[in-house]
Amino acid sequence: MTHFVDRRLNPKGKSLGNRQRFLRRARTQIREAVQKSLKDSAVADLAKDRKIKISTRGTKEPRFRLDPRAAGERDFVLPGNREFDTGDEIKKPRAGEDGGSGKQAADSGESEDDFEFTMTQDEVLDIFFEDLALPNLVRTTLKETPNNAWRRAGITTTGSPNQINLVRTMRAAQGRRLALRRPKLADIGALEAALEAAEREVAEGRGDAAQIASLKEQIARALAKRKWVGFIDPVDVRFNAFTEQPVPTSKAVMFCLMDVSGSMGEREKDLAKRFYMLLHLFLRRRYEKVDVVFIRHTHDAQEVDEQEFFYSRQSGGTIVSTALDKMLEIQRARYATADWNIYAAQASDGYTQTGDARHCVDLLNGEIMPLCQYYAYIEILDEREMEVFASEDSGAELWRAYRTVAELWENFATKRIARPADIFPVFHELFRKTEAAQ
Amino acid sequence: MSGLLFTGSEWDFPTLDRAYAAIEKIALEDLGLDVYPNQIEIISSEQMLDAYSSLAMPLMYNHWSFGKLFAREEAMYRAGYSALAYEIVINSSPCISYLLEENTMTMQALVMAHAAFGHNHFFKNNYLFRQWTNAESILDYLAFAKRYVAACEERYGRDEVEATLDAAHALMDQGVFRYRRPPRPSKERVLEKHRLRMAHEESAYNELWRTLPAGIETSAAPPVPDPDDEFEPDARLPEENLLYFLEKNSPALKPWQRETLRIVRNLAQYFYPQRQLKVMNEGCATFVHYTIMNTLYDRGLIDEGAWLEFVHSHTSVVFQPEFGDKRYYGINPYALGYAMMDDIKRIAEAPTDEDREWFPGLAGSGDAFAALRYAWANYRDESFIEQYLSPKLMRDFRFFSLFDKADHGAYRVGAIHNERGYREVRRNLARQYDTSGDPNIQVAGANLKGNRTLMLEHRMNRGVPLHNGAKEMVLAHVEFLWGHDVKLEEVAG
């Protein structure tokens, strides 16, 4: 009877079903936690495993248990007495100050605090997408891992039989046969002919018997050698090797433009952030390398890091065209169109200095749009304004101006948003294209 | 040539085999153990976590609470707060032990001695396990439970099944028979039922069903309930097993819910002895591995390095922090259990005068292993401590007893480890391991003709009431299962 079973190769994730049930059960808490966690994380960090801390509200597992603190009496035994004698008194730790004397009150119920666990990238994205109301097809497109292609990577000595490289195998075998001096059949034939001749001579009574013996021995040795120096040997076998390599895709740069003047509050910035996250996620799936450039502007534009982009404030007027100028300047200096696909995402509350909108349109039509793969503009309103501007045609100066650009360029998208679910339609064109391409 | 079984920390299957044979020889010949056949499985750390989160069983139905446990354990493990157990052992026949692949060879040997022989012997011989659990059938039963719950989820929806399981889990502690075995159908009844089922299948056979895709388990379909099946027309009251009572008498439950309650109840019953035998079970296994590893070393089968590694691991397992220590989490069952086993050996082989006075039958009897085997077979934690805890151990552990009255601002020290206090400390400690520490809740009656209120009764032990918040939540679950009002009264027991 054998006693050992190797289970290591059994399929993993036996508790996956339980995990899904748990995530579903704690859905509300997990959603809150994920949203909070997304708020605090970088745009490019969306698709990563992350730690989530949730409260156990809703996932409590109550059992009847005793509460000796409430009433009644009991005796219990502890180890480690150093100082006490019968009749001594020990002050009880006050409630909330647990642990004054170890965990002796443990039986009054383990506390189920918040607890932390890790959610995988897919689980986080599911929740992120749910808020954004992404269509299912888009969800799968985004989650898809990039394709890899198999490429030749020389020759190896190990592999599967269907990858045998016959030419190289035979070449190796020949080299070995030469090096080890494997007797050829012709050589043996010659020896056998010589033997036959010698035997004939002996039969005729004039040959040398010793020569026959020597020839026989030579033949035997040659035959033996043919046996152990095989025509082909396992060491000769060569295989074609392949390695997996990502399909080369070109690089992309994503310009995030945002108005940071006083009118952009916490809510507006959070919406804008989700907008950038989604675009970044999309780009990351399509391109091997994605750079993100943050440009903020008031009456003057600056390139800043992400932290400053989302969290610092500046006062001043609002001149949108400065940001466009800045973007062009950076693009010219660092992102040549030959190497980079250029995407731009602009978020604003729709106000700019009078007359500046005209300038923006000129810049866009004349210089920026010919460079860009896609340009998405969102105008962040609150719910009340959303009702006022129900029609696409009415709006502030910048909105009306951008509408004219959108009519000219297919890859220019504009949208007013007030809720996370409004964001996705901005990218509608973008995603439709990839669907069509597939 | 050295007689060592292994050197270094790497292991492979031939080495495991050799070590197993050597350990088996010592266990059976020197210690006289009697074990179920062993099946030892090597698993990865992730599979160990999996096993953790399904109550350490190889099979389990799906429920979110197991997912929660897994998420928590995994976070703790990844953060480095807790190490994984070296082994898990399942009370079944064959006795399945899991070894973690990351263990060193020394640890594998230790774990084999501990689980495959120590625990295994205990499972097979202790009277509680023999009386209450069917080691041969538990895995089959779990397979059935898993299929059944899955089939119910498919047919009645996940939410329904989840609500039922939630409620049943809340009553798991009240779902065991403490004093009597549930009525079992006689052998003839079982055979007769089987014959009837076959007859039914025959009469219900339909050629068309053969075209069902393979893999559909017809046996998992919820069976038609048999009204005679263990049914007691007049439930005997009071009834301590709430799940049993609800399963048989609740007016609100559908047949599949009753079966689900029964599954949870059977599981609770299966685990019930383990809760009463923590100290003895671990003590027995720890004592066995300690003896076996030392014998291996004495016979030159393992080297000093392995022996030191074993001693290091052994001492950390049986470490008992004192009550004021930050690491104190109650009395360590490994520490107390092992100390008691070792102490019995000492008393049997080299007793002092004090031992002769306290244990006249045992002291100096000579055959320590026979005495231990007797204790392992015939006691549970409570009676074992009451019978075998010696004054020397109480002094070693520095046990002392505290009296706690809820409305009093301080604990009063009762007995301590001295001549006057030994018996009281021992009695109090033994009682701590008695399941009377669980709330004693009984079904007192049900108004079946009128408004169908279910009356529960908590018989308080020395006036300690139920935790109020928890009580309300559990009662909500009971109401769900009963379908009508439920009242719980707390009475002095």
Residue B257, Ramachandran bin (φ over 0: left; ψ between -120 and 50: alpha; else beta): alpha
Is B51 exposed, middle or buried (CB count within 10 Å of its CB: 0-12, 13-18, 19+)? buried
Q: Please tell me which residue of chain B has the smallest CA distance to A22.
A: B64
Q: What is the pLDDT of residues B122-138, one digit of tens each?
A: 999 998 888 877 777 88
Prediction pTM value: 0.69
Looking at residue A224, its pLDDT comes to 93
Q: Are B466 and B306 in contact (CB under 8 A)?
A: no
Q: How far is B398 from chain A (nearest CA, A)?
A: 5
Number of domains in chain B: 3
pLDDT, averaged across chain A: 79
The closest CB to that of B47, out of A5, A7, A103, belongs to A7
Q: Which of A157-161, A162-166, B432-436 has the lowest mean pLDDT?
A: B432-436
Q: Do A84 and B72 touch (CB under 8 A)?
A: no
Q: List CB contacts (< 8 A) between A67 and chain B.
A: 464-468
Q: List CB contacts (< 8 A) between B474 and chain A.
A: 62-64
Looking at residue A167, its pLDDT comes to 94
Chain B touched by A65 (CB under 8 Å): yes
Residue B422 included in any domain: yes
Looking at residue A110, its pLDDT comes to 38
B270-292 average pLDDT score: 90
Between CA A15 and CA A36 the distance in angstroms is 27
CA dihedral (B213, B219, B220, B222) in degrees, to 10, reads 120
B197-222 average pLDDT score: 59
Chain A touched by B67 (CB under 8 Å): yes
The closest CB to that of A81, out of B68, B72, B398, belongs to B398
Residue bearing the bigger pLDDT, B133 or B119: B119
What are the helix (H) ranges across A242-355? 266-286, 306-311, 320-334
- For β-strands A115-119 and A50-54, DSSP reports them as antiparallel
Q: What is the pLDDT of residues A244-287, one digit of tens each?
A: 876 655 678 889 888 887 777 778 888 888 888 888 887 777 77
Looking at residue B445, its pLDDT comes to 83
Chain A touched by B383 (CB under 8 Å): no
Looking at residue A49, its pLDDT comes to 76
The closest CB to that of B464, out of A14, A71, A81, belongs to A71
What is the Cα gyration radius of chain A? 39
Looking at residue B260, its pLDDT comes to 92
Chain B touched by A112 (CB under 8 Å): no
Residue B188 included in any domain: yes
Q: List CB contacts (< 8 A) between A66 and chain B.
A: 437, 439, 464-467
Q: List CB contacts (< 8 A) between A5 and chain B.
A: 39-42
For residue B235 the two structure tokens come to 């439930």
Looking at residue A220, its pLDDT comes to 93
Residue A425's Cβ-side half-sphere holds a number of Cα atoms within 13 Å equal to 11
What letters, b where the CB count within 10 A reaches 16 and e where it falls short, cover A25-62? bbeebbeebbeebbeeeebbebbeebebebebeebebb
Q: What percent of chain B has pLDDT over 90?
A: 31
Q: Are residues B481 and B470 in the same domain?
A: yes
> Which positions ≥6 away from A246 have C-beta within 8 Å?
A146, A147, A148, A149, A288
Evaluate if residue B244 carries a pLDDT over 60. yes
A45-50 average pLDDT score: 72
Is A13 exposed, middle or buried (CB count within 10 Å of its CB: 0-12, 13-18, 19+)? exposed
Q: Which of A333-342, B166-175, B406-415, B467-476 has the lowest mean pLDDT?
A: A333-342
Evaluate if residue A403 carries a pLDDT over 90. no
Q: What percent of chain A has pLDDT over 90?
A: 11
As separate numbers, helices (DSSP H) first and strands (DSSP E) second, chain A gives 15, 13
Chain A touched by B325 (CB under 8 Å): yes
Between CA A226 and CA B276 the distance in angstroms is 75
pLDDT, averaged across chain B: 84
Looking at residue B436, its pLDDT comes to 61
Q: Are residues B462 and B493 in the same domain?
A: yes
Looking at residue A239, its pLDDT comes to 93
B4-33 average pLDDT score: 89
Q: Are residues B245 and B329 in the same domain?
A: no
Q: List CB contacts (< 8 A) between B41 and chain A.
A: 4-7
Domain that holds residue B487: 138-205+235-263+439-493
Chain A touched by B68 (CB under 8 Å): yes
Chain A touched by B396 (CB under 8 Å): no
Looking at residue B294, its pLDDT comes to 94
Q: How far is B171 from chain A (nearest CA, A)?
A: 7
Q: pLDDT band at residue B251, thresholds of 50, 70 and 90?
A: confident
Looking at residue A133, its pLDDT comes to 64
Cα–Cα distances (Å) from B264 to A258, A428, B166, B175, B258, in that order, read: 58, 50, 10, 8, 10
Looking at residue B292, its pLDDT comes to 94
Between CA B160 and CA B258 the distance in angstroms is 13
* 3-state secondary structure (DSSP) of residue A306: helix
Q: Please tell me which residue of chain A has the smallest CA distance to B475.
A: A64
Q: Do A5 and B400 touch (CB under 8 A)?
A: no
Chain B touched by A225 (CB under 8 Å): no
Looking at residue B340, its pLDDT comes to 94
Backbone angles phi, psi at A330, to 5 degrees: -65, -40
Between CA A296 and CA A277 the distance in angstroms is 16
Evaluate if residue B469 carries a pLDDT over 70. yes
Q: Do B468 and A67 touch (CB under 8 A)?
A: yes
Q: Do B411 and A5 touch (CB under 8 A)?
A: no
* 3-state secondary structure (DSSP) of residue A323: helix
Evaluate if residue B188 carries a pLDDT over 50. yes
Looking at residue B212, its pLDDT comes to 53
> Which positions ≥6 away from B387 have C-beta within 8 Å?
B375, B379
Chain A touched by B157 (CB under 8 Å): no
Evaluate if residue B408 carries a pLDDT over 60. yes
Q: What percent of chain B has pLDDT over 70?
A: 87
Looking at residue B180, its pLDDT comes to 63
The closest CB to that of A66, out of B40, B75, B464, belongs to B464
- For β-strands A239-246 and A148-156, DSSP reports them as antiparallel
Q: Are residues B474 and B397 in the same domain?
A: no
Q: Are residues B430 and B459 in the same domain?
A: no
Chain A touched by B45 (CB under 8 Å): no
Q: Do A25 and B64 touch (CB under 8 A)?
A: yes
Domain boundaries of chain A, sorted by first residue: 16-58+113-132, 161-241, 251-437
Residue bearing the bigger pLDDT, B236 or B239: B239
**Domain boundary pick from B91, B126, B161:** B126
Looking at residue A315, its pLDDT comes to 73
Looking at residue A97, its pLDDT comes to 44
Q: pLDDT band at residue A417, thresholds of 50, 70 and 90?
A: confident
B439-455 average pLDDT score: 82
Cis ω before B94 (30° cut-off from 0): yes
Q: Do B420 and A78 touch (CB under 8 A)?
A: no
How many other β-carbons are positioned within 10 Å of the β-carbon of residue B168?
27
Q: Are residues B142 and B259 in the same domain?
A: yes
Chain A touched by B429 (CB under 8 Å): yes
B61-80 average pLDDT score: 81
Q: pLDDT band at residue A101, thresholds of 50, 70 and 90?
A: very low
Highest mean pLDDT among A85-94, A287-296, B468-477: B468-477
Q: What is the pLDDT of residues B87-115, one digit of tens each?
A: 788 888 888 888 888 888 998 999 899 99
Q: Are residues B143 and B259 in the same domain?
A: yes
Residue B362 included in any domain: yes
Q: Are residues B65 and B156 in the same domain?
A: no
Interface of B with A in 196-235 (CB under 8 A): none
Q: List CB contacts (< 8 A) between A7 and chain B.
A: 41-43, 47, 98
Backbone angles phi, psi at B488, to 5 degrees: -120, 125
Looking at residue B210, its pLDDT comes to 58
Q: Are residues B413 and B451 in the same domain?
A: no
- Nearest-5° angle of CA B79, CA B80, CA B85? 125
Q: Which of A409-413, B82-86, B306-310 has the lowest mean pLDDT?
A: B82-86
Backbone angles phi, psi at B40, to 5 degrees: -110, 125
Q: What percent of chain A has pLDDT over 70?
A: 84
Task: Please report where in the chains the tokens 């932290």 appear, as a residue.
Answer: A307
Q: Are residues B360 and B254 in the same domain?
A: no
Looking at residue A105, its pLDDT comes to 37
Evaluate if residue B79 carries a pLDDT over 80. no
Residue bearing the bigger pLDDT, B135 or A359: A359
Evaluate if residue A140 carries a pLDDT over 90. no
Q: Please tell me which residue of chain A has the smallest CA distance to B66.
A: A18
**Domain boundary pick from B391, B414, B437:** B437
What is the Cα gyration radius of chain B? 25
Q: Do B465 and A70 touch (CB under 8 A)?
A: yes
Q: Are residues B163 and B188 in the same domain?
A: yes
Looking at residue B227, its pLDDT comes to 45
The closest CB to that of B65, out of A3, A4, A61, belongs to A61
Q: pLDDT band at residue A165, thresholds of 50, 70 and 90?
A: very high
Q: Are residues B432 and B453 in the same domain?
A: no
Domain A251-437: CATH architecture, name and number where available:
3-Layer(aba) Sandwich (3.40)
Chain A touched by B400 (CB under 8 Å): yes
Q: List CB contacts (< 8 A) between B318 and chain A.
A: none
Q: Please tell me which residue of chain B has the smallest CA distance to A8.
A: B43
Q: Which helix (H) or strand (E) holds A402?
A: helix A397-408
Helices B255-276, B138-156: inter-axial angle, 10-degree rounding: 140
Highest mean pLDDT among A17-21, A421-425, B26-30, B51-55: B26-30
Evaluate if residue A419 carries a pLDDT over 70. yes
Please say whether the dihedral angle defined by the alpha carbons of residues B340, B345, B348 and B350, taken in this order, is positive or negative.
Answer: negative
Q: How many residues does chain A have?
A: 438
Looking at residue B206, its pLDDT comes to 64
B330-339 average pLDDT score: 91
Q: Do B330 and A22 touch (CB under 8 A)?
A: no
Evaluate if residue B424 carries a pLDDT over 50. yes
